[in-house]
Structure 1
Amino acid sequence: MSDVVVQVAKRVVLPVALLFSVMVALGVLVTRVLARSWPFTVEDTVNRELAADRTPGWNDVSLVFSTLASTQLIVVVTVLVALVLRLVLHRWREPLFLCAAVSAQALVFLFTTMVIDRHRPAVEHMDASPPTSSFPSGHTSAATALYVGIAVLLALRAKRTPAKITWWALLVLVPVGVAVTRMYRGMHHPSDVVASFLNGGACVAIMARAVLDHTLTWGRAKLPVDSSGDDVAPAPASAG
C-alpha cells in the first residue's frame, strides 16, 4: 500500500499541485503584474472586434461549440466514453485515465478561480455568467482534457499513421472551436482560453504518465518475462 501512495503522490498529487501553482502565477501576471503591458492591453480590442462581427449564422455555430463544452455534456460524454472503453477493452486503465484527466482539470480550474478574480470582457455576454472568475475558461479547459484525452486513446489504438493524424485533427479542433466560441460569445479574454489549453493539456499529460504507463506496477511486483515476451507465473511455494 505504501508503494501505491508514493506513486500517486509523485505522479498525480504533486504534478497537479504544481500545475495549480502555475495557473495561479499566470493569473497574477495577467490580472496584476502585466495587466497594462502588451499583449494584454489589446485583449479588450479583440473581444470588441469579435462581438462586432456577430451574425445569426455564426451565433448558431458558436452555440454548438459552447454546448459541446458545457458542464452537463462534458460529464455525460466522459461517463459514456469511459463505460464504452471498459466494455470494449475489458480493463480499467483507459477509463480511469480519461476520468482522472477531466476531474483534475476541473479541480485546478475551480481552485484557480477562487484565487484569481477577473471580470469578464466588457462586451455583451451571450451566455449566463457562472459564479466564477473569467480566468481561466472552464469550457475550454474541460474540452481540452476530454477531447484531447479521447484523441490520445484513439491514436494509441490506431495502427496506421493516417488514422492517428485523423483522430488528432478531428478531436483537437473541438477545444480550439470552443476557445474561439467563448471569446466570440463575450465570455472570456484571449489569455483566459490560452491558460485553459495549458490546464487541460497538462492534466492529460499528467494522467497519461500516471495511468497509461504500462511499466508502473502500482505496488504489485512485476512478473518475470521469458524469451517470448510473455509473463511467467511464479512457481507455487513448496508445501514442505
Structure 2
Amino acid sequence: MSDVAVQFLKRILAPVLALFAVMVGLGLLITKVLEKTWPFTVEDTVNRDFAANRESFGNVASFIFSTIGSTPVIIGVTAVVAIILRLTLKRWREPLFLCAGVIAQALIFFFTTLLIDRQRPEVAHMDNSPPTSSFPSGHTSAAVALYIGMAVVLVGLTNRTWLKTLCWLLVLVPVGVAVGRLYRGMHHPTDVTASFFNGIMCVWIMARAILDRSVQWTRSTLASRKVAAAH
C-alpha cells in the first residue's frame, strides 16, 4: 500500500468511519434507549413553543436560514468559495479542506439516516419533509461544516485580531439554520445538536488532515522524507 493511501486511511477514512459509528450510536441511544427518559421526553416542548408563537417575521427569517442550509445552496456556496480560494491563494489545501469537510458530513448524515428511523416533531411542518429520518438535521450539519470551515480558513489567513473575530461571526449562520429548522417544525432539538457535533468533527478531521502543513500528501515529498530519515 502506498504512503498516500496509508495517510488517507489513517487521517481521513478511519476518523470519518469512527464519527459515523458515534453518530449512529447517538441516534440509537436517543431513539431506542433514552426515548422515555428526561430530558428527551420533553425536548419537543421547544418545537411546540415555536409552533404556538409563529408570526410573519419569524416565518420569513426561518425560511431564509432554512434555505441557506438547503442542499443546492450549500453545494453552490461551497463550489464558489472553493474556486475563489484556489484562484486567490494559488494552492489546493484550503479549497480541498472546505470541500472535504462538507462532503464528509453529507456522507455521515445520509448513511446515519438510513439506520436511524426517527419521526419528525408532532407539530405543523412548514416545509415538505424529505424522505429521510429526522435524525440528524442535514441542513444544520451542512451549514456547520461549510460556515465554520470558512471561518477556520479565513482566521488562518489574517493576523489581525478584529478580523479574526469578524470571521468567527460566520458561526452564527449555522446557529440561525438550526433555530430555523426547529421553528419550522422539521427537527427535534437533539437532531440539530447532533448535527453540530457531526459538522464540527468533520471540520476538525479535515483540518488535521489537510490544513496541517506538517502533513504531506505528495509522493515526492513522502519519498524525500524517507530518504532523509535513512541518512
Structure-1 separation of matches of 2:174 and 2:153: 16
Identical aligned residues as a percent: 63
Paired residue for 1:206? 205
Offset at residue 161 of structure 1 (A): 1.4
2:105 maps to 1:137: no
Q: Tell me, yes or no, if the aligned pair for 2:93 and 2:211 is still in contact at 8 Å.
A: yes
CA distance in structure 2 between the partners assigned to 1:203 and 1:116 by the alignment: 20
CA distance in 2, matches of 1:45, 1:197: 20
TM norm structure 1:
0.91
Map Cα deviations across residues 62-113 of structure 1 (whole Å, 9 max, x no partner): 1111111110000000000000000000111111000000000000000000
What is the distance in 2 between the residues matched to 1:83 and 1:115? Answer: 35
Check conservation: 2:69, 2:140, Cα contact below 8 A. yes
Hey, what does 2:50 align to over in structure 1? 50
1:221 Cα deviation after fit: 2.8
- Separation in structure 2 between the aligned mates of residue 163 and residue 193 of structure 1, nearest angstrom: 28
Counterpart CA distance in 1 for 2:220 and 2:87 is: 24
Distance between the aligned counterparts of 1:159 and 1:149, measured in 2?
18
- Residue equivalent to 1:122: 122
Shift in Å at residue 220 of structure 1? 3.2
Q: Which residue of 2 aligns with 1:86?
A: 86
Q: What is the TM-score when the length of structure 2 is the normalising length?
A: 0.94
Alpha-carbon separation, structure 2, partners of 1:220 and 1:207: 22
* 4+ aligned runs moved over 3 Å, structure 1: none
Alignment RMSD: 1.5
1:22 corresponds in structure 2 to 22
Which residue pairs with 1:184 in the alignment? 183
CA distance in 2 between counterparts of 1:220 and 1:98 reads: 24
Question: Unpaired segments of 5 or more residues in structure 2?
Answer: none
Higher helix share: 2
Q: Name the stretch that deviates more: 44-53 or 140-149.
A: 44-53
2:36 alignment counterpart: 36
Structure 2 residue 173 is matched with structure 1 residue 165: no
CA displacement 1:34-79 (0-9 Å, x = unmatched): 0011110111211111110100111001111111111000000000
Q: Which residue of 2 aligns with 1:228?
A: none
Aligned counterparts of 2:213 and 2:109: Cα–Cα separation in 1: 29
Q: Which has the larger radius of gyration?
A: 1
Aligned to 1:197: 196
| Distance in 2 (alpha carbons) for counterparts of 1:129 and 1:139 | 12
| Conserved? CA contact 2:66–2:180, under 8 Å | yes
2:110 aligned counterpart, secondary structure: helix
Q: Which amino acid aligns with 1:183?
A: L
CA distance in structure 2 between the partners assigned to 1:44 and 1:161 by the alignment = 40
Deviation for aligned residue 1:217: 1.8
- How many residues end up aligned between the 2 structures? 224
Structure 1 counterpart of 2:99 = 99
- AA in 1 matched with 2:162: P
In 2, Cα distance between the equivalents of 1:59 and 1:198? 26
2: CA distance, partners of 1:47 / 1:111: 25
